[in-house]
Structure 1
Amino acid sequence: MARVLLVHARAGAPPEYTIPKVAAVADTCVLAVTPLSATARSVADTCCETVVDISDSRPHADQLVEHIVAAAHRVGADAVLTFSEFAVIAVAEACQRLGLPGPGPNVRRARDKRAMREVWQRAGVPVPTWLPADSIEELRSAWHRLTPPVLLKSAWSAAAVGQVIIRSEDELPAAWESSGAALAGGNESWFSELRLSAAGQQPAPGFLVDEIIPSSIRSWYDDDRYGDHISVEGVVVEGRYHPVCITSKAPTTAPFTERANFTPCVLAPALQRRIEEIARRAVDALELGTCATHTEMKLLDGERVCLLESAARFGGVLLTREVEHVHGIDMIGAYTRAALGEDPGLPDTMLVQPTAHAAGSVALYAADSRGRPWSTLPPFVPDRIDWASLLSPGTKAEVFDGLSLPSGSPMPVYDAANGYLNSAGLVFLTAPDPATLLADAHAIMDGLEHALIRAGQ
């Protein structure tokens, strides 16, 4: 049987879900660059040949690549994989040194948002109007050259961490400080790029300043409970892009923190094909090798779109599990087979037909579905909630422990600059149909505060 070295780092699809999927395809050895939770470690110990944790040394930069190459040689790996955005560059470089299929030499285009935008501008793919900023002085210059309000964000971050909307010039210093503080906090909790910095240090700032995209669902959805952005989940195999399906979203919470994802997409097939064509142009322009992809875009009037970013890894939370539940495609297994040089069994064109059932992921924040902060902060006790009282008949809710705080933890205050780091937990939903899924996801977002209050009484 083939052997895979799976490099674990924080972010991306959770190890409790991905490890068994990889192990079902090949003998699996785990190299943990950031700590595995107790649950994930138990799963890995059950499924894998070896589990080596090197997180105590906090390997970064060249040291991390050396660790990966040495581990691959030690276990005789036929493929090296990661599901973390923060480890994908290091894994790509290790694959090149080992002569194994991987994301390839252009992988930084799928991490550095500034390089990504430059590639897409040359390819004629629609992107926001933007400027780089590496200092408060450059931020001020960008402010005067762009049309405010503007969005400040790091070229290397993920999940909306460090994003700040700036509406007036006097907000510039505070915005710069707030974004930097959020990124520093992410670095402390392993939520930062691992390849480009020494241990305990953040990579060079590499900020972007974007004009706010004039997004709208008017020519796409007739229900404002759907958000104005989508993502296309896919896999690139030896440079050939396989878009699998579109994931719909709930409206974001300020500034642009994702709240919930929905599979399947309910847009008309012709509209989905329009999105597929733009996603294909965007991913092809990045010139990647063999890797997962997660391509995000905003919806605009006139059935137009604007690209946000495309990562060389799967979407986070439980997007891959949603796809498997609804469409029957195990994207983790398919990517593993592709990395081993086997047929991944993926469709050549995107799946756009309606399905009879639905699945989604709902992140749990101290804000309702419209982004209004809670008036109280009851303890986070998801195991005491009567979830059925929030849901329709036939809908099932599962609190995913691997992406949730321990029961009894303080509920985090929602801080806009912290993005996904505000999340207390994640609920995986399955429903009989997309309409029920949409309604029940919003019921959770709007009913969670009072459900926690009742649970704590």
Structure 2
Amino acid sequence: MTATSRTLICVDGPGGPTPEWFVPRLCDGHDLTILWAPAGDPLIDDHKRDLFARWKCRQFTFNTGDDLTELIKKYAHSEQSDGILCFSELRVIEAYTAALELGLPANPVQAINAMRDKYEQRKLLAAAGVPVPRYARVRTGTELKEACRRVGLPAILKPVTGAGSLATYLIDDSTDLPAVWELARAAHDRDSRGGKTSTFILEDRLIGVNKHSDDRYGDYASVESITFDGRTEHLAVTDKLPLTPTFRENGGILPSVLPEADIETLHAAAADAIQALGLKNCATHIEFKFTADGPRIIEVNCRIGGGVSEQLFYAADYDVVDALADISVGRQPARMKDPERYAAILLPQIASEPLEVVHAPTPDEVLSFPGAKSAYIKYSAGDCPRWEDGTVAGTLARVFAAASDHETLLRTFHRLEGSFNFVEIPC
């Protein structure tokens, strides 16, 4: 620690950069206290406990169901913390609420309420004149039927507090509404990323256009930004790979290779959304669908996007973890320099059918692929991934790669996809 070190509370949780990534960075310049919830798996929990101890972090645990906001405030008082930081979408509401109530850098109450609730987001965006698709809140099977009449078909049904394409379904004229409602509720209720109640939003399906004229790219993109004291810096636009049914992400590459005019349009649309929601001190990961009428917001996430921390580091040597720590203690973050290379997060998805893995590559094999920086292989021979549970469950591997051109990264993704073999299994 140095004389200018700040004390910091970091609330750990699923999503965002891993503790292995953010703890060393936060400990370099901050006196760090970690709040975390044991998973119940001794191997995972012991690994985290040892990691935090090795970096000499003070650590306190909590359980699901605890009043996390009050716990954060309690430890912030006892540790005399200068700021509160959270990278996890599942914990960010409590972290920002505690910071706001303690008078630390945070976001207004209205913005906090819309951070994870897609329905509240849509209301604020629409009220500010930001284009949004038709939408309706759905809490029962009867409301789903009425929402279909109001919104029109085809439409997308998803939880208001879901993440990673959890319980997301296409609704059209052929859909058995009672059956899909029960499927959606069951998928939502068995996943910890869902909210406390089975509340959904039905939205008019946006019809995408491919701005790249290359089917190796998807018809959507994301804008990665940080906002400090109401002033926003756009860090990058991420070109997304095509989705796998049902709406599962395969990763993305930044910075974008779209024409500058398209990037400026996305930046302006992201700035409008940030202003409409009243965000003041946070990261944002805003996903846009390209349509014939221009980019339309899919959703606003008030956190750094999954994998974006690593991508920004590999592309521009930029430490967004440190930047967000600065924001949390009221200090101006460093500006990002222009990227010198392209960086990708590659998340190949299993097909949307019952399959068993019969061959998976080893991490060392994947690290021999062009540009590969790190490789985690999630499934091995004999596993049957539950793709129905969204992007996380259907992801076969998580690979970061960097190169001087997009083409190398696209080829590496194709090679990674082809390195898994499967066999059909009975339904």
Q: TM-score, normalised by structure 1?
A: 0.84
Q: Is 1:342 aligned to residue 331 of structure 2?
A: yes
The structure 1 residue matched to 2:214, chosen from 223, 228, 246, is 223
Cα deviation digits, residues 170-228 of structure 1 (max 9, x gap): 511121111111112212xxx234xxxxxxxxx232211112101111xx212110111
Amino acid at match of 1:205: S
Instruction: Tell me if structure 2 keeps the 8 A contact 1:366–1:449.
Output: no
SS in 1 for 2:81: coil
The structure 1 residue matched to 2:10, chosen from 1, 6, 9, is 6
Q: Which residue of 1 aligns with 2:405?
A: 433
Instruction: Tell me if structure 2 keeps the 8 A contact 1:28–1:47.
Output: no
Q: Could you tell which deviates more after superposition, 63-72 or 425-434?
A: 425-434
Q: Is 1:288 aligned to residue 290 of structure 2?
A: no
Amino acid at match of 1:30: I
Q: Which residue of 2 aligns with 1:313?
A: 303
Q: Which residue of 1 aligns with 2:385?
A: 412
Q: How many residues align?
A: 414
Cα deviation digits, residues 23-77 of structure 1 (max 9, x gap): 22311110103536554444322224212222xx3234xx111111111122221
The structure 2 residue matched to 1:323, chosen from 304, 312, 317, is 312
Q: Which residue of 1 aligns with 2:245?
A: 254
| 1-structure distance, mates of 2:354, 2:199 | 34
| 2-structure distance, mates of 1:300, 1:449 | 33
The structure 1 residue matched to 2:198, chosen from 201, 205, 208, is 205
Query: What pairs up with 1:25-104 in 2 under 5 angstroms?
Result: 25-35=29-39, 38-54=46-62, 57-60=63-66, 63-104=67-108
Instruction: Tell me if structure 2 keeps the 8 A contact 1:150–1:165.
Output: yes
| 2-structure distance, mates of 1:3, 1:409 | 47
Q: Which residue of 2 aligns with 1:365?
A: 349
How far is 1:327 from its partner?
A: 2.0
SS in 1 for 2:344: strand
SS in 2 for 1:429: strand
Instruction: Tell me if structure 2 keeps the 8 A contact 1:131–1:210.
Output: yes
| Bigger relative contact order, structure 1 or 2 (CA pairs below 8 A, ≥6 apart) | 1
Amino acid at match of 1:430: A
How far is 1:272 from its partner?
A: 0.4
SS in 2 for 1:378: strand
| 1-structure distance, mates of 2:238, 2:232 | 17
| 2-structure distance, mates of 1:119, 1:238 | 20
Q: Which residue of 2 aligns with 1:387?
A: 366
| 2-structure distance, mates of 1:86, 1:264 | 27
| 2-structure distance, mates of 1:53, 1:233 | 31
| 1-structure distance, mates of 2:261, 2:350 | 37
Instruction: Tell me if structure 2 keeps the 8 A contact 1:25–1:337.
Output: no
SS in 2 for 1:120: helix
Unaligned runs of 5+ in 2: none
Structure 1 residues 378, 232: CA separation in 2 closer, same or farther (over 3 Å shift)?
A: same
Q: Which residue of 2 aligns with 1:269?
A: 260
Q: Is 1:23 aligned to residue 27 of structure 2?
A: yes
| 2-structure distance, mates of 1:339, 1:413 | 37
Cα deviation digits, residues 106-129 of structure 1 (max 9, x gap): 212121111100111111212122
Amino acid at match of 1:396: A
Amino acid at match of 2:391: G
Instruction: Tell me if structure 1 keeps the 8 A contact 2:356–2:383.
Output: no
SS in 2 for 1:277: helix
| 2-structure distance, mates of 1:47, 1:168 | 56
Q: TM-score, normalised by structure 2?
A: 0.90
Q: Which residue of 2 aligns with 1:378?
A: 358
| 2-structure distance, mates of 1:361, 1:149 | 30
Q: Which residue of 2 aligns with 1:399?
A: 375
How far is 1:255 from its partner?
A: 2.2
Instruction: Tell me if structure 1 keeps the 8 A contact 2:356–2:381.
Output: no
Q: Is 1:448 aligned to residue 414 of structure 2?
A: no
Structure 1 residues 49, 159: CA separation in 2 closer, same or farther (over 3 Å shift)?
A: same
Structure 1 residues 176, 380: CA separation in 2 closer, same or farther (over 3 Å shift)?
A: farther
SS in 1 for 2:407: helix
| 1-structure distance, mates of 2:354, 2:181 | 26
Q: Could you tell which deviates more after superposition, 168-177 or 304-313?
A: 168-177
Instruction: Tell me if structure 2 keeps the 8 A contact 1:32–1:51.
Output: yes
Q: Which residue of 2 aligns with 1:138?
A: 143
SS in 1 for 2:387: coil
Instruction: Tell me if structure 1 keeps the 8 A contact 2:356–2:385.
Output: no
Structure 1 residues 59, 379: CA separation in 2 closer, same or farther (over 3 Å shift)?
A: farther
How far is 1:3 from its partner?
A: 0.8
Cα deviation digits, residues 354-384 of structure 1 (max 9, x gap): x5522111124323xxxx658542265634x
Instruction: Tell me if structure 2 keeps the 8 A contact 1:364–1:427.
Output: no
| 2-structure distance, mates of 1:357, 1:113 | 34
Cα deviation digits, residues 391-427 of structure 1 (max 9, x gap): 34xx225214xxx647667241422x53323224311
Instruction: Tell me if structure 1 keeps the 8 A contact 2:119–2:137.
Output: yes
Instruction: Tell me if structure 2 keeps the 8 A contact 1:361–1:428.
Output: yes
Amino acid at match of 1:131: A
Structure 1 residues 110, 443: CA separation in 2 closer, same or farther (over 3 Å shift)?
A: same
The structure 2 residue matched to 1:182, chosen from 153, 168, 187, is 187
Higher helix share: 1
| 2-structure distance, mates of 1:94, 1:358 | 37
Amino acid at match of 1:250: L
> Cα RMSD (Å) of the superposition?
2.3
Q: Could you tell which deviates more after superposition, 102-111 or 131-140?
A: 102-111
Q: Which residue of 1 aligns with 2:194?
A: 192
Structure 1 residues 360, 292: CA separation in 2 closer, same or farther (over 3 Å shift)?
A: same
SS in 1 for 2:191: helix
Instruction: Tell me if structure 2 keeps the 8 A contact 1:233–1:293.
Output: yes
Identity among equivalent positions (%) equals 26
